[in-house]
Structures are given as structure tokens and as C-alpha cells.
């Protein structure tokens, strides 16, 4: 009898071991700048509802995010799923790194709750659906209402008005020759192409041979460079400033204007209260230009746990989970149900987003755009701002990338 019981006990132990080994682990990459991070709460909720799946979620720093992702994809160490942006989609498709999601999305109960047209915007270059949207934003102009009021200014609607405001609000309060407040916080480091785009791309830019080196575009780029080199309305650190620097300077009262999206609204409003508001970016060419900001989720074709990965990413894009997800990112929910009672941002920032949508734009969905965003734009912009190349040369180098 003891032998039978021992045998039974061993069999039960083996069954438990087998069940434990049967658990699937989804390696997931994401990037959150904000210190308040709900990912552990979302993981706990998901794992409780899906006991056979474990989520290994890694917050990868933004500055190295895509370099690390491409390196790991080539090296065979890619995560199973990750947050991804549209500029990277063509390269990832070309690498055959993405798992098509069309059939999964078509069968997904959450599809009808996605806001209108967001799947169409996120479609791949071949028309297939590789991305599941998880958040979106549109960039606009933050400005200090108190400083504008003191100076008798209204928010700029044109580049001419912007220059006047930026010069007026570059203030040397101590009289020591060094401004204590600069008119605009420019993001010259990686990710600042969206600032640059507002001032340059509205002048009829086309990302093709001859499309970026017209006299109008070269003049527009020179105008932007002159804001730093001649008018000195940017902080001296502008050539290297990234997200943290421009938002930190704005919150600290060191700049009077900057460009970002609703993802920064709560943090900025907490620091400045009613001394801050937002409006669409100024029109600097034939039409205004601002960037539609996206973030989506993808499954990589190398994953061995695609079904589990789909359960996880679709969970993040659903109803209350998506609202919780965007409490950390500060961006807008992709769901209709979540949008109906959106209370995560003050109305003035939501209004600025909505008012900017009619002229929001995407960068070309080509492989070259990934190189433009990660390498070509930041290196050429920094060299132009510091006088190592001309504004014209900068435009020539960007155009050369797209004219290959």
C-alpha cells in the first residue's frame, strides 16, 4: 500500500511539474518615460485571468529602444511582443520580423470598440495589419499663459508671430547677459524631428529626390537654425536636448513655449497649474504641419508563443485596461468606450489635440524613415545648430537618404 501511495505521489508530482513547465512566458518590451508605471498592475490582472501565461515585461529606455530592438531581432534574441511606432514598421516588415494580425483582429471582440479609422492609419505598407494600436496623440504648442499675458501677447498662429513671441519672451531678468527665460524649448536630440517638422515641412516638403531642397524649404530650415544661432531664443543646450530636458525646462520656468503632446499635460499642469495652456502649432508654410503620434503593439514572427502574445497585447488594447495603460503614458485611449468618459486630462489639452487633428501628418511609411528618425535627423540637426554644416547641407543630406 505504501508503495502504491509513493508511486501515486511521484506521479502527482510529475503532473504538477509538467503543468508548471507548460506555462508559457511572453517576453514583452515597452517604454514608459513617466515614473508612475501601471505595468505591474496590468500584468497581475492578466496573469490572474490567464494562469497558464506569465508576462515578462521589460521597460527599455527610449534613447536605445530601437537600436536594441533591431540588434536583438538580428541576433535572434527578440522579445515575443513589443510597443512599436509607425516609422519602424516598413523596416520591420522588410526584415520579415512582424507577425500579421489580420485574422486575429478580425476575430477579436474588442475590434468594434477601437476608434474610427485607427486601424486604417496603422496599416502596413503592403496593406496588412501588423500593428494593434494602443494609444495616440497629436503634437501641439504648450505656452505659459502668465508670461504671454504679462507681455501682452496672444498665442502665435504664424511663424512671424512665433518669432516675435519667442524674442519677446527670451528674458534676461538679472541683467547679466544670460537669459533666465528662453522663448522656446527646442528638442535638438533624438525625437526632435517633430519640432523641426512644424517649422519646415509645411513649405511643400516631399520626401523624395528634389522634394526637400527647394529654395522655400532651405530658407525655412535656415530660419529655424537662425532661431538658435542668431536670435538665441533656444537654450544653449538645445542641440542635445531630448524629451526630459525640454519638459523639465518648461516646468521649471526656463522656457516660455515648447512642443509636445497630451502625454505631458498632467505633469506640466501639476507643476504650473493655470499658468500653462495649449494651442495648435503655428502655421509656418502653405499649411500647418504637426505630427500624428502613434504607439502600437506587435508580435514578432520569431515568437514561439504567438497565441499567448496575442492574448496579452489584445488585453492591453481593451476597454478599462487601455485606459489604465494610458494613465502612465498620458496619451489618449484608442477605445470608444474609454473616450466617452475621458477624465485623465484637462479639457484645454484635449481641445488642442482635437483642433490639431485636421492637419496632423505622418512621416513616410518607408524603411528610410527609421534611419531618418534615429540617425540622420538628429546628427544633421545638431551639426547645423552648432555651425558645422549649413542649413542647406542638412536638407541635402536628408534628401539623399530618401533619394537612394
Mean pLDDT of 202-226: 97
pLDDT band at 7 (very low <50, low <70, confident <90, very high): very low
Range in 3-7, 62-66, 105-109 with the lowest mean pLDDT: 3-7
pTM exceeding the 0.85 threshold for the entire prediction? no
Which is it for strands 290-299 and 276-279: parallel, antiparallel or unpaired? unpaired
Residue 16 has pLDDT above 50, yes or no: no
Read off the pLDDT band of 334 (50, 70, 90).
very high
Q: How far apart are alpha carbons 374 and 377 in whole angstroms?
A: 7
In the predicted model, what is the mean pLDDT of the chain?
92
pLDDT at 15 over 70: no
Where residue 35 falls among pLDDT bands split at 50, 70, 90? Answer: low
**Structural contact between residues 278 and 142, judged by C-beta atoms closer than 8 angstroms:** yes
Question: Higher confidence at residue 100 or residue 23?
Answer: 100
Burial of 304 (0-12, 13-18, 19+ CB in 10 A): exposed
pLDDT at 21: 54
pLDDT at 171 over 90: yes
| Per-residue model confidence as pLDDT tens digits over 343-381 | 889 999 989 998 898 888 889 888 898 899 989 999 999
**What's the pLDDT at 340?**
84
Report the candidate in 81, 65, 2, 71 with the shortest Cα–Cα distance to residue 32.
65
Express each pLDDT in 64-77 by its tens digit.
899 999 999 999 99
Cβ 167 vs Cβ 351: under 8 Å: no
pLDDT score recorded for residue 385: 98
The confidence band for 327, taking pLDDT boundaries of 50, 70 and 90, is: confident
97 pLDDT higher than 50 = yes
| pLDDT over threshold 70, residue 338 | yes
**Count of C-beta atoms within a 10 Å radius of residue 107:** 8
- Per-residue pLDDT tens digits for 37-54: 889 999 999 999 999 999
* All domains of the chain in start order, with CATH: 2-136+292-360 (3.40.190.10), 140-291+364-402 (3.40.190.10)
Which is nearest to 265 in space by CA: 394, 391, 140, 396? 140
Angle at which helices 193-200 and 377-385 pack, to 10 degrees?
A: 70
Q: Which of the pair, 397 or 263, is modelled with greater confidence?
A: 397
Classify strands 24-30 and 81-84 as parallel, antiparallel or unpaired.
parallel
Lowest mean pLDDT among 63-67, 153-157, 185-189, 388-392: 63-67
Residue 225: which of 202, 200, 247 has the closest Cα? 200
Amino acid at each position: 500500500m505504501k508503495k502504491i501511495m509513493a508511486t501515486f505521489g511521484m506521479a502527482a508530482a510529475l503532473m504538477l511539474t509538467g503543468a508548471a513547465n507548460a506555462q508559457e512566458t511572453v517576453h514583452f518590451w515597452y517604454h514608459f518615460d513617466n515614473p508612475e508605471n501601471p505595468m505591474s498592475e496590468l500584468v497581475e490582472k492578466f496573469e490572474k485571468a490567464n494562469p497558464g501565461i506569465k508576462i515578462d515585461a521589460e521597460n527599455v529606455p527610449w534613447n536605445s529602444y530601437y537600436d536594441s530592438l533591431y540588434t536583438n531581432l538580428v541576433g535572434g534574441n527578440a522579445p515575443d511582443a513589443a510597443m512599436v511606432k509607425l516609422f519602424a514598421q516598413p523596416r520591420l516588415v522588410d526584415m520579415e520580423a512582424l507577425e500579421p494580425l489580420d485574422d486575429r483582429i478580425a476575430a477579436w471582440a474588442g475590434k468594434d470598440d477601437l476608434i474610427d479609422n485607427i486601424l486604417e492609419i496603422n496599416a502596413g505598407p503592403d496593406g496588412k495589419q501588423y500593428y494593434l494600436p494602443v494609444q495616440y496623440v497629436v503634437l501641439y504648442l504648450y505656452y505659459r499663459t502668465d508670461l504671454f499675458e504679462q507681455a501682452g501677447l496672444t498665442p502665435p498662429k504664424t511663424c512671424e508671430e512665433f518669432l516675435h513671441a519667442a524674442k519677446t519672451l527670451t528674458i534676461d531678468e538679472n541683467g547679466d547677459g544670460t537669459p533666465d527665460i528662453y522663448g522656446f524649448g527646442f528638442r535638438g536630440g533624438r525625437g526632435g524631428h517633430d519640432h523641426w517638422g512644424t517649422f519646415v515641412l509645411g513649405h511643400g516638403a516631399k520626401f523624395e529626390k528634389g522634394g526637400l531642397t527647394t529654395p522655400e524649404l532651405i530658407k525655412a530650415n535656415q530660419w529655424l537654425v537662425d532661431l538658435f544661432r542668431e536670435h538665441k531664443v533656444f537654450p544653449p543646450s538645445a542641440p542635445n536636448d531630448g524629451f526630459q530636458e525640454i519638459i523639465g525646462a518648461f516646468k521649471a520656468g526656463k522656457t516660455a513655449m515648447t512642443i509636445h503632446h497630451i502625454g505631458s499635460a498632467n505633469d506640466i499642469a501639476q507643476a504650473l497649474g493655470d499658468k500653462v495652456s495649449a494651442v495648435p502649432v503655428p502655421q509656418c508654410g502653405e499649411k500647418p504641419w504637426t505630427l500624428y503620434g502613434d504607439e502600437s503593439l506587435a508580435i514578432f514572427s520569431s515568437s514561439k508563443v504567438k497565441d499567448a502574445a496575442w492574448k496579452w497585447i489584445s488585453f492591453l488594447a481593451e476597454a478599462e485596461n487601455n485606459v489604465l495603460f494610458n494613465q502612465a503614458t498620458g496619451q489618449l485611449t484608442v477605445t470608444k468606450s474609454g473616450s466617452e468618459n475621458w477624465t485623465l486630462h484637462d479639457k484645454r489639452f484635449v481641445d488642442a489635440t482635437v483642433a490639431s487633428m485636421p492637419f496632423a501628418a505622418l512621416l513616410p511609411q518607408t524603411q528610410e524613415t527609421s534611419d531618418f528618425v534615429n540617425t540622420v535627423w538628429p546628427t544633421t540637426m545638431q551639426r547645423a545648430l552648432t555651425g558645422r554644416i549649413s542649413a542647406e547641407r542638412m536638407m541635402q543630406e536628408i534628401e539623399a537618404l530618401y533619394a537612394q
